[in-house]
Structure 1
C-alpha cells in the first residue's frame, strides 16, 4: 500500500509534468521578427549583386529563402501600412502619406480602426510584441502610436526617417521609449540604437515562456548621407571607377547568382559618361557613405542574429528582411560646406540610385519595377525546408500579415474592439516556401501620386503620372524595355479594366488629391 507521502509526491510530479508539457506547448510557436529598411535598392546586398559587405544578410539568404521578386508599395508610409495590416494602404487609411490632410477616410494619414496590425492580431494569440525604429503611419496624436496599436513596448520615432546622429539638425524626429521622450548622447546612432533596444528586449525584457513578435524598422539607408567614419573608410576608393563600372559589375554578379537573365541586357542607364562628372571624388564619396550605411545595417543584423543564437532561440525564430521601396533619386546637397557623411551633412546620393536598382528602371514612388521590387530574405531553420532556396514567383507586402498569422497558427478576426474589420488583401506566402505554386491569375495593384500599375501573371500594365500606359511581358522582358501596348491591345484592355474596378473598390483618387 502506498503511503500518503509517496501518494502526494506522485500527484505533485504528475502536476509538474502536465505543467511542463503545457508550458512547452505554449513556447512551441515560433518567434517572428520583421526587419524593414528604408530606400534600399534591389542590388544593394551581396546576395543580390552588390560589392557592399553584407555577410550576415547573405548568410541568412544562403541558409533560408530569398524571394527575388517581392513587391512593396513604392514609398515609406504606404508600404508600412500594407505590411502592418495586410491590406492595400487605402483600406488602412494611408492612401498617400501620414502628413496628408483629407476628409477622405482612405487618405486620413493614420491607421484606421477597420484595420488591425500584426501586433494586435498576434497579441490576441499569446504573443508579446515589441517595436523599435521608425513608425511613420500616424504620429500627430498619441493614440496613433505603436504602443496604442498592439505593441507592448516601443523605442524609436513615431515620425519619419532621416534620423541618424542625435539630434537631427534637419528633421523633427524626437525619440521615445514607451511614450517618454529620450535625450540620447553624442555617441548615439539610430541603426545601432534601434538594434541595441531590440537585443535588450530579447535578453532582458521579454517573458521567455511566451513567443514574441518584433518589428524592427530602420531609417537606413534613407537620406541624409550620414555614417560612422570607420564604415565610410572601407569604401573610400571603391566608387572612384564611376557609375557604369559598378553597375556592370553588379549585373554580371547577378547573372552568376542566377537572379538576372543570362541572355538579356540590363535596362538603359540614366547617367552619362563618368569622365564628364566635375567632382568625381565628391560623387564617389556619396556612394561610399551610402554603402557605409548599408554595411552598418548588416553589422547590426548580425548582432541581432547572434543574440538569438546566444538565447538558444535562433532555430525557431522567423526573421524576414525587406525594403519599403526602391532606391531614391533625390540628388540635392543642402549643406555643401559640410563633410559628406558627417552629422552636419544633408545630402543624398542622386544618380547612384540607378546603380542601386540594377538591373531595373525607375525608382522610389514610381510603379515600374525599380520602384516596387525588393529582395525578401526569410530565415527560419526549424520551419523552412532546404537551404539557399530562391523563389522567383511574385509576392506582395500585403502578404506579410497573413504569413505571420499562418506561422503563428492564428486566424484573422472578423472584428476587433467592437469594429468590423476590412478583409485582408494579402495571402500567406508560406505555400511558396514549400514548393506550392501561387495562383497564376492573382492580380497585384499599385498607385502612388498618379503613378499606376497592375500585374497579372507575366503581364504588367504601368504608367507614370499623366503619361500613357505601357505594357510589358515580364517573363520575356523583366526590365521593362519593350513596350507592347500597341501590339497587344487585348491584354492592355483586360488589365486596365481590372485596374479601374480595383481602384474604385479601394477608393483610389486621381492625383493631385482634391479633398
Structure 2
C-alpha cells in the first residue's frame, strides 16, 4: 500500500512538474507562399502534414504580414511594426532570441535571415544557427552568404538541398538541447527560403505535378476558390477577385507557352510539397522525442505570392542548379486565391497568407477556423505570454520602443477576444489601414480605395465614392500613425496620387509594361540566345 501511495505521489509530482515546464516553441516561416498554396487553405498541392496541423489545431483566416520578405522578418522578429523596430539591426527592439533566451530557452535560428547581414543570428540572441544571411539562395548549391554557428559555411555536400538541410539542422539542434538539458525548453525559428525563386525543385517532387497544371491558371483558381468556400474559409458572398486584364486567359496563350507555364507551376508545387515533407519529418521527430504535446507550433508565410519574372530566365529543368525561373504573375494570381494583387501590395493578396497554430496542451477546439484579424508582429508578444515573460524595456546599445504587437494567447485558449482595433500597412509606395471591418488601400501610389471587408473581403467593390468622409478620416489616421506610431520614412508617407505609378518608373533596370508588376512573357523566347 505504501508503495502504491509513493508511486501515486511521484506520478502527481511528475504531472505537476510537466505542467509547469514552459512549452517548446517552433515557428516555421515560409517565403513567398500565397494564401491558397496548401491544402487546408484550398490548394491542390499535396500537403498532408501541414493539413494535419490544421485538422488538430487552429487556422487563422485573417493573419496579416508586411507584404515583403525583410519587412515581415523585422516585424515577426521584433514584435513591432516594421518601421518602429529600428530597421534590420533592430535598433529600437529586441529579437525573438534576445527575448526568449533569458527565460531559459535554448534558441535556434535556421534558414533565411534577411535582417542585419553584417551579423549572424548568434549575435542576436540565438544559441545555434545555420542558414543564409541574404534574401535568396540556390537550393542545390547554397551561396557565399551561408553561416553556421557564428562562422562562414562553405562545405556544401553534393546532395545538398536547402529545405532538407534546414530541417536536418533543426532536428540536430533540438536533439543536442534535449541531451544537454532535458527539462530546458527550446525555441526554433525555422525560416525556409521555399518557395521563393529561383524555383529549384527535386525531379521526383516535380514529377508528381507534371500534368496537374496543364489545365491552366483559370481553372486552378476557380477550383481553389470553390474548396475555400466549402471548407468555410471564405464566405460565399465574397466574389472571387477578377483576373486582372494584364493577365491573359489560359486559352489565349500559345501552346508552347502553356507548356512552359504548366512546368513552372509544377516546379513551384514540388517545392511546396517538399516543405510539407520536411514539416512532417520535424513533427515526427518531436513526437518520438516526447515533446509534441507541449510544443506550440506556428506555421506562417511572409507575404503573398510574387509576380516577378526573372528577365534573365534560362530555359532549363527546375532540378538544374543553373535554372533561374520564377513563378510569374499568372500563377501568383492563382496562388493568392481568392484575393487580388501580390507581394509588396497592401491589398489582401499581398498581406494575407496561411496561418496555422498547433498546441495540443492548450488548443481544445481542434480543427477550427478563427477569423480574428492578427499580424505577424503579434507572434513575439504571444510567445512571451505563454512563456511567462515580458518585452524588455531596455537593452544594451538600443533605445527600446514599446511593442505594437499583442498576444493572441486568449484565442488559443478558446476565448472570443478582439485583439486589434486598427492595423497599419505600408511597403514602399503601397499602403493600407484597417479599422474594424473597414479598409482603405492604395497600390503603387494610386488613389485610396475603400472596402468593407465583412461584406467584401476579396476587395471587388470599391466604395470610395460613396463614403468620402470615411475615406478622409481613415486617410488622416494613416498619416498620423505613419508619423507617430510606425515611423515611416517621409519619402513613403506623402499624399497618394491620382493614378498608379507604372512599374519600373520608380526603380532602375526594371522594364515592365504593367502597373501591377509585369505580365508573363514568352519564356521560350527569353530562354533563347539572341542571334548576333
| TM value normalised by structure 2 | 0.86
Corresponding residue number in structure 2 for 1:3: none
Match 2:136 to one of 161, 178, 182: 161
Corresponding residue number in structure 2 for 1:187: 159
Change beyond 3 A, Cα 1:476–1:440: farther
- Tell me the distance in 2 between the aligned counterparts of 1:513 and 1:437: 35
Query: Unaligned regions of 5+ residues in structure 1, if any?
Result: 1-12, 95-108
Corresponding residue number in structure 2 for 1:249: 223
Corresponding residue number in structure 1 for 2:25: 32
- Tell me the distance in 2 between the aligned counterparts of 1:27 and 1:159: 39
1:272 matched to 2:248? The reply is yes
**Aligned-pair distance for 1:512?**
6.3
Corresponding residue number in structure 2 for 1:176: 148
Whether the 8 Å contact between 2:42 and 2:227 is mirrored in structure 1 is yes
- Secondary structure of the residue that 2:279 maps to in structure 1? helix
Change beyond 3 A, Cα 1:252–1:39: same
Provide Cα deviations, 1:184-231, integer angstroms capped at 9, x if missing partner.
Answer: 112100000000000111223443220011100000000101110000
Corresponding residue number in structure 1 for 2:271: 293
Provide Cα deviations, 1:288-344, integer angstroms capped at 9, x if missing partner.
Answer: 000000000000000000000000000000100100000000123524342234211
Whether the 8 Å contact between 1:335 and 1:346 is mirrored in structure 2 is yes
Question: Mapping of 1:302-451 within 5 angstroms?
Answer: 302-332=280-310, 334-350=312-328, 351-417=330-396, 419-439=398-418, 442-451=421-430
1:217 matched to 2:191? The reply is yes
Corresponding residue number in structure 2 for 1:9: none
Corresponding residue number in structure 1 for 2:497: none
Query: Unaligned regions of 5+ residues in structure 2, if any?
Result: 1-5, 495-532
Whether the 8 Å contact between 1:26 and 1:209 is mirrored in structure 2 is no
**Aligned-pair distance for 1:413?**
2.0
Provide Cα deviations, 1:28-60, integer angstroms capped at 9, x if missing partner.
Answer: 110011000000000001000000000000000
- Secondary structure of the residue that 2:146 maps to in structure 1? coil
**Aligned-pair distance for 1:497?**
1.8
Whether the 8 Å contact between 1:450 and 1:510 is mirrored in structure 2 is no
- Tell me the distance in 2 between the aligned counterparts of 1:26 and 1:436: 21
Corresponding residue number in structure 2 for 1:146: 121
- Secondary structure of the residue that 1:375 maps to in structure 2? coil
Change beyond 3 A, Cα 1:382–1:21: closer
Whether the 8 Å contact between 1:27 and 1:211 is mirrored in structure 2 is no
**Aligned-pair distance for 1:469?**
0.5
**Aligned-pair distance for 1:420?**
4.6
Change beyond 3 A, Cα 1:375–1:437: same
- Secondary structure of the residue that 1:481 maps to in structure 2? coil
- Tell me the distance in 2 between the aligned counterparts of 1:374 and 1:43: 8
Question: Mapping of 1:17-166 within 5 angstroms?
Answer: 24=17, 28-94=21-87, 109-112=88-91, 114-139=92-117, 141=118, 144-166=119-141
Change beyond 3 A, Cα 1:492–1:418: same
**Aligned-pair distance for 1:513?**
9.9
1:457 matched to 2:436? The reply is yes
**Aligned-pair distance for 1:145?**
1.9
Corresponding residue number in structure 2 for 1:476: 455
- Secondary structure of the residue that 1:345 maps to in structure 2? coil
Is the deviation greater in 230-239 or in 256-265? 256-265
Whether the 8 Å contact between 1:82 and 1:398 is mirrored in structure 2 is yes
- Tell me the distance in 2 between the aligned counterparts of 1:304 and 1:428: 26
Change beyond 3 A, Cα 1:498–1:32: same
Change beyond 3 A, Cα 1:26–1:248: closer
- Tell me the distance in 2 between the aligned counterparts of 1:359 and 1:127: 39
| TM value normalised by structure 1 | 0.89
Q: How many residues are paired up?
A: 478
Change beyond 3 A, Cα 1:233–1:175: farther
